[in-house]
Each structure stands twice: as C-alpha cells, then as structure tokens.
Amino acid sequence: MYEAFFGLREPPFSLTPDTSYFYADSGHLEALETLLTALQLGEGFIKLSGEVGTGKTLLCRMLLDALEADEHFVTAYIPNPAITPAALRHALAAELGLELPRNTGQHHLIEAINRHLLEQHRAGRQVILIIDEAQALSHDCLEALRLLGNLETGKHKLLQVVLLGQPELDARLTRPELRQLAQRITFHYRLEALDADAVGGYLAHRLAVSGHEGASLFSPGLARRLHRVSGGIPRLVNILAHKTLLAAYGEGCRRPRSRHLRRAIADTECLARRLPWARGRGWVAALGASLAMAGLLWTTGIG
C-alpha cells in the first residue's frame, strides 16, 4: 500500500525470511560463522538457540544457501520436527533422495541411510541435517538423532546435525536423561536481540534493500524508541516499523513520527498489554483512521 509513497519497490518489513534482507550485525554474522566453522571442522552436533523472533529461521536459510553453494556438502532440512522418531528417519531419507517403500521397517531404513551416507563420504561429500524449531522434538526423537549421530567411519562422522531452537531446547538438554546428547554438542551459539545501534542499522538496511534512497525514514531518536519498546527482537521491529509506516502514510507524512510509533504499539497486542499508557487512549482507533485514510489516498491516487 505505502511502497510508492515512500519510494520503495516492495514491502521492507515482511516477516517472510528473505535472505536478501539478512542484516549482518555482529551477533548474527558471528552465529553464521560459528555454524559454518563447526561444520567445516566435522563436528557431529551443533546447536543454535535464541528467543522467539530473533531471526533463527532467516539464519537457517542463510546457512542452507552457503552449504548448497559448496559441492562438498549435502543438506537435509526438516522445518517441522513435531513428529515420531520413525517419521523423522523417513523424512531424513526423503531429504537425501532415497526412494524407499512406505512400509520399510526401521532396521532396513537405518541401513539404507547408512549406506547412502557412506557413499556420500566416499565421494568426498559431507551430509548435514538441519532441524529448525528443534525445541519441538520429542525425547524419543532426540534420542533417535543421537543414534543417527553414531553413524561414522573410524575417523569421520557420516552425519552432522544442526539444531536450531528456542531457549526451551537449552533447558531440555540439561535433563539427566538427555546428557549423552548434550555432551555431544561441541559448538553452541546463543542468538541475542539487536542493540539500539543495530536496530537503527537494521531499519536503514531493510529500507535500502527495498529500494529507498537517502537517509533512513526512521530518525535516530525514533529508532531508539522502537528499540526500547521491541527489546531489539527483529520480528517485533518489523511489525512495529510496518505499522508505523502505515500510520504515517495514512496522514500523508513523508517521515514517521513518534505518534505513529505509539499508534503502532497500541495496535500490537503483545506490547499494548504491558504498556499501561498504550491502553484506553484511543490509539487503536487513531491507527484505524490512519489506515482508512491510507486506503482513500490509494484509491484516489493521491501521494
């Protein structure tokens, strides 16, 4: 709706994990380099954790792109691991391109996976299994992964596993019954939220990628306020920035102001609940009016 008004080619704050919008702040870049280094060293299990909305899935896409660009790596990706151990093994086999009957028994399935991994090893390729949202893995699936990690030659792991998940994954791996798996995780990185300076750079970067030229639409002061409210969580930054631009567009303002951010906050339930000033102030109605005006400007061709 507001792209042409602000000189943009496309929406800059979409929640879709588009790798062209990856912002290489120190934390996210270090996390990616840690994962790639650990994989190049041949480590068996690697873990990346972070709060909801900190950019794990986008980082996962960046990792997949980097690995797929290297002919020495073969990747298998499981984005939704809330499945049984048997389904997990079948999913791995399917990702590896193994065509097996649906009724293949688990013993034969593991043998087929092992043979394929050995073939890849002899061809000089390393197989990487990447599991996103790994906090959803059941205890039995985590144990199945540990056993798959036992597939090896005398000197090399045949399967490397990268687990990406929320902090609940860290907590689960402290349980005594999972200590064997926890001890095998040799590299771990905790992804943190963006600091105030990084949020300003993040906003400017996404706007530039989407086609904006010149200084960022978000002033340094407005970027700092957005950081305070969002806690530096990229997903919340995107949501608030998008709604702030909508509110500004609804008023015909070429640069958003604090009042537009306040309306965006009030319209974001998870934030409005914990900010007393945002409740009962009519900001939601004001944002609605702004959006209605935005629609009017759009249909009439104004701006």
Confidence at residue 156, expressed as pLDDT on a 0 to 100 scale: 85
The tokens of 182 are what? 């926890």
The tokens of 211 are what? 């086609």
For residue 155, what is the DSSP state? S
The tokens of 162 are what? 């990268």
Nearest by Cα to 44 from 203, 144, 153, 186: 186
pLDDT band, residue 277 (cuts 50/70/90): very low
Instruction: Give the span between the Cα atoms of 120 and 114, in whole angstroms.
Output: 10
Least confident among 86-100, 243-257, 280-294: 280-294
Task: Find tokens 């984005």 and name the residue.
Answer: 79
Helix (H) or strand (E) holding 158: none
**CATH architecture for residues 26-191:** 3-Layer(aba) Sandwich (3.40)
Task: Find tokens 């702004």 and name the residue.
Answer: 290
Average pLDDT, the chain: 89
Instruction: Give the span between the Cα atoms of 73 and 86, in whole angstroms.
Output: 25
Task: Give the number of other CB atoms < 10 A from CB of residue 168.
Answer: 12
Give the long-range contacts of residues 300-303, CB within 8 A, separation 24 or more: 302/252, 303/4, 303/5, 303/249, 303/252
Each residue's pLDDT tens digit, 11-48: 999 999 999 999 999 999 999 999 999 999 999 999 99
Confidence at residue 132, expressed as pLDDT on a 0 to 100 scale: 95
pLDDT band, residue 282 (cuts 50/70/90): very low
Q: What does the domain layout of the chain look like in residue ranges? A: 26-191, 196-300
Residue 130 in this model has a pLDDT that exceeds 60: yes
For residue 176, what is the DSSP state? G
pTM of the predicted model, to two decimals?
0.87
Each residue's pLDDT tens digit, 62-80: 999 999 999 999 999 999 8
Please enumerate in sequence order all residues whose Cβ is within 8 A of that of 210, keeping only pairs 6 or more positions apart, or say none: 3, 8, 9, 10, 11, 12
Contact present, 267 and 284 (Cβ < 8 Å): yes
Using the Cα atoms of residue 165, residue 171, residue 177 and residue 182 in order, give the sign of their dihedral. positive
Task: Find tokens 């391109």 and name the residue.
Answer: 97
Instruction: Give the span between the Cα atoms of 42 and 130, in whole angstroms.
Output: 14
b/e map 245-278, b = 16+ CB within 10 Å: bbbbbbbebeebeebbbbbbbbbbeebbeeeeeb
Instruction: Give the span between the Cα atoms of 26 and 264, in whole angstroms.
Output: 28
